Amino acid sequence: MSENKRVSLIAICLMMSAIAQGQNNSSPYSVLGIGDIETSYFNKYTGMANAGVALGDERYINNSNAASLTQLREHFFAFETSTRFKQVVYTGAGVVAPDNKTTDFAVRRVNLAAKLTKNWGSSMGLMPFSTAAFNFSTSKTIQGTLLNVDASYQGQGGVNQFYWSNGYKVTKNTSIGVTSSLLFGSINQTEDILSNDLTSDLVTKSNLYLRNYYFNFSLQTKLKLGKKWQSTYGMTYTPKTSLYVEHSLIVTDGNTQIKNEILKNDFFTLPETINAGFALINKGIYTYTVNAQTQNWSSLKYAGSGYQLVNSNKLSLGFQHSQRARNPYGVEYEKGFFQMGLYAGNSYLKMDGHQITDFGGSIGFSRNSKSSPLGYVISLEAGRRGTTATSQLSENYFNINLTLSYLEYLFGGRKYY
């Protein structure tokens, strides 16, 4: 492939990432904290229920574990962009068709990685860390009075994660890694109160601006169990981190501004997180893996009227069948794969004494070209968050994820497609 074609392809991918837009899904649970924290890595292992912390690949970027970057092909770089289409159907009290559906399509990850030396792999990327999007109406009593009013709430925004990951091989079978991230973003919330007893709408606009550095430390190792079997192990640890928050508050009564205040030096703390995984690989074709994640929210003691943040846990099981082939250069490569996965867990949010649950399944499919640097991964996810058995709303969601991959040699690498 000529240099002009390479540059053009990269430019097209970047432009596609920049201009893709969509309508954000509305989630009533994202009204709390910094919104819904993203649980997907939008990579090769999404079809395996994101159970990829113990795995690595020579072509695809595993952004769930920086230590896996040492498995990339030496002197090559990989560029990936991932999109997601999501549809949510809500069930529960107060929700009726056709206003119980939302859809969304957006680019969720842009990632560039390279194997720079025999023992060092590096990667940079951008993806969402959390998303806030809600729009609902309710009634409330104004504090200090007996006045009952109608109130509507709208929110939009979230926190983004720009990260730089590095993995280094310390022994033949063991690698360590670190991901250094900058978290930044804003969440805008609006409360609109209307009553026959009020002469005009009372509108309160609250804007949160969040930022800080965020670190994740990782480990991967493998052990050969015989001629056909190999076991791999992975673990990541994220320490407790506080996000600095600048909070602005604007209150208007009709066309009259009655309050404009900026509160600085506030913070929102993210808990320590541990993610561990184990995988068995048979002849490089069949992969069986399990992942377990826990987040220690209870130690932060966040609570409010009718809710509290509690420890969250998630268990994921994944399977992959890989198709191997040889290209015209005689080099073996992964022609494609099929994946399946199951996951179940508890959210960090507990409402009215009931913790929010999340469970579902996924499948994935991939094809890599034998004569060009292009490849793609398509994965489908379906699940349910919350339940109608209590006062909670149930979110029944369906996701279609697409990852496009471009692989090319940097210098000194052997062309193999």
d(CA 405, CA 111): 10
Answer yes or no: is 282 within a domain: yes
Instruction: Give which of 71, 7, 9, 6 is closest to 404, Cα–Cα.
Output: 9
Where is pLDDT greater, at 46 or 371? 46
Buried b (16+ CB within 10 A) or exposed e, 322-343: beeeebeeeeebbbbbebbbbb
Q: Which of 242-246, 265-269, 277-281 has the lowest mean pLDDT?
A: 265-269
Q: Which of 89-93, 114-118, 221-225, 339-343 has the lowest mean pLDDT?
A: 89-93
pLDDT in tens, 241-261: 999 998 888 888 777 777 777
pLDDT at 26: 66
Inform me whether the pLDDT recorded for 21 exceeds 50.
no
Helices (H) and strands (E) in the chain, counts: 1, 19
**If residue 3 lies in a helix (H) or strand (E), which one and from where to where?**
helix 3-19
DSSP code of 63?
T
Inform me whether the pLDDT recorded for 68 exceeds 80.
yes
Q: What is the dihedral of CA 220, 289, 355, 392, to 10 degrees?
A: 130
Residues paired with residue 381 on neighbouring β-strands, in sequence order: 362, 399
d(CA 292, CA 317): 9
Answer yes or no: is 198 within a domain: yes
pLDDT in tens, 316-350: 999 999 998 877 777 777 899 999 999 999 988 88
- Note the pTM of the prediction, 2 decimals: 0.87
Answer yes or no: is 415 within a domain: no
> In this structure, what token pair is assigned to residue 147?
């006045």
Report yes or no: 249 and 295 within 8 Å, Cβ to Cβ: no
Inform me whether the pLDDT recorded for 390 exceeds 90.
no
DSSP code of 302?
-
| Total domains in the fold of the chain | 1
> In this structure, what token pair is assigned to residue 126?
């951008």
Strands annotated E in 142-253: 148-169, 174-194, 202-224, 229-238, 241-253
Inform me whether the pLDDT recorded for 105 exceeds 50.
yes
Average pLDDT, stretch 72-88? 92
d(CA 346, CA 310): 9
Q: For the chain, what is the mean pLDDT?
A: 85
User: Residue 97 — pLDDT band, cuts 50, 70, 90?
Assistant: low
Answer yes or no: is 417 within a domain: no
Average pLDDT, stretch 283-300? 94
pLDDT at 324: 86
Inform me whether the pLDDT recorded for 405 exceeds 60.
yes
Structural domain of 389: 3-409
pLDDT in tens, 292-310: 999 999 888 888 777 888 9
pLDDT in tens, 120-171: 999 999 999 999 887 777 666 666 555 667 777 888 899 999 999 999 999 9
Average pLDDT, stretch 22-49? 81
> In this structure, what token pair is assigned to residue 85?
């289409």
Inform me whether the pLDDT recorded for 104 exceeds 50.
yes
Inform me whether the pLDDT recorded for 352 exceeds 90.
no
CATH number at residue 57: 2.40.160.60
Average pLDDT, stretch 352-376? 89
Cα–Cα distance list, 229 to 1, 50, 71, 100, 248 (Å): 37, 22, 18, 48, 57
pLDDT at 1: 45
Answer yes or no: is 172 within a domain: yes
Answer yes or no: is 393 within a domain: yes
Q: Which of 96-110, 210-224, 369-383 has the lowest mean pLDDT?
A: 96-110
Report yes or no: 203 and 214 within 8 Å, Cβ to Cβ: no
pLDDT at 269: 92
pLDDT at 314: 97
